[in-house]
Structure 1
């Protein structure tokens, strides 16, 4: 059964504005079931979690429901799901906590391919702890970050390796499982930024070898919040700062303050929406997610090829997403033309495709694009072939002006 793009698009109120959205890597539009779940949560009795009043029980159910759904999405156990405000906030929190276990002379590894949220927290924590930072580089000609590049900067003093599962700038999917194996052989933990990856790939933290995996539901049709997946036994070994009356149970010991219950309802609904994109309704949620991601991948790959073939036929366009394994995300520059001007031209035609480096400063600089980056074209479950043709026509128009 083919991917029913028309049925999918009918679930997104934002599409009624007539815009074509290629800004999914920065945040997706929201489907009706997610909007309704958030509204319903706020319309019911709601208070701090507990077993007594309806409001307490509703809050408890929203938290447990979100943990179960996100665990299914990430191939994790609910007891290892930590909920937070954003992936950046969670990474900062865990960098400070993990740094308490480091000693001067220890080393951490970061990569030039990563979003700054998986670089700067570790660099700053290392500086405070007197720890050395080692950099793993990627090949700007191919966009590839190899396991050998990471192995080359590992040592017996490496305590942590931070790596992206997919570049938010050029889509590269590094061989995370192979990197994990090398990191673990060196005695290091692996912290994986999966914010861009989870929007396009079914996550299995065990198969990836991730000790910590962080992502953001608003990149896969949900609300603005962050999620970290780990093993509960590993979380038990970490002692974050917390308020004295707050629970010390895992995973709650890492969740500071009252959780955004309505957003947790939205996150669960987003996972259920994703699970319904596939051709079948049989099996548990994890099985349905696998079917959905397979269908979504086929659809997005087709639209991506349509766009990249069209871009390749335009004079003066350079494509920077070249890795063999990559998400449907393209970064392009235009000979002698400003990608900011191109972004504004597209916006006047109802097409959202932003220009910038998108917090992937190190990657943008390594590509020779400085801090300005390029025009990013990213796909989402609602992107259609007609959207692709609109984009290509508008870019061709811009280049002839």
Structure 2
């Protein structure tokens, strides 16, 4: 009896041919040789080597140490490459060429799959924004007057975006409680997570040329899980009047796998009903494709699931965020990353940050290991997610994980 092929996947495998997320990997025998890979089941296909073996015209794009050349090639190339990859892993005649190029996932090292150009983080969950407003402005309006009229965001540090599995050093900085007479300096004592979905730009745009809602899929290549680590105490002291700075810029973890938008067609959903009329550049009422994505996220602390935030309920969509980000004429660059902002739902167990889960530390979480509020040294946070795929199968998103270490 012949040995089963890695291409013979169990029915319903979330990383089957319907998914095919992209990453960058290296092998133990050539650790310096980074190459584009595509995940199929529990294996990684060397995409560049496969393209070369099968005479693909896109071999040069795939035989690179980052995804950026493929991202920059544009939507037609993305479709052609995906179509070819699907054939390579499903057509039996290709198996003699493809099977030797498959590497078990647990034997490779995964790297940051793209060179990050700019980084923007948004604030798009009404449930999250409302919770934060109630925590910090208990006697005022939970939402600021502009929140329902534009996607609020800020520019972050692209150089501190790290791939899943990278340790996160506890940040140090100034902090001051409301009752303290003066600020103190030291490690953050309110270190937190933000469970988000990130998007990576492929096709750039010209300076001075806004990107409209309908052009979202012409510019955005795919999405992935993102954890925007946050030092709440540092942020609370510094963020008035200019916004997040050192409390956010020390680390942002992203998944090693990018799921192409084309794999998520079955997961597209309409966003929540809007409460106010939107200005024309943000008005998606007549959009041909629904702007939301039905992504089910799970957040685990040291292996214990503590929250399951639903991405489908995000008030502002990724297309609206892209349109707003460029409406002033700001240009896009290949490798630009933007985050959705913390994903939270209406229920307590759907909150995507410990700030909300513990109500700023006043309502500790009850875990098997005891009561917990914010992150402690040695803690490991892991986010996983899936979305509906074709014919009822799930589309798996690669996990994003990070361990807190003493600074």
The two structures have a TM-score, normalised by structure 2, of 0.26
Give the helix-richer structure, 1 or 2. 1
The two structures have a TM-score, normalised by structure 1, of 0.26
Give the strand-richer structure, 1 or 2. 2
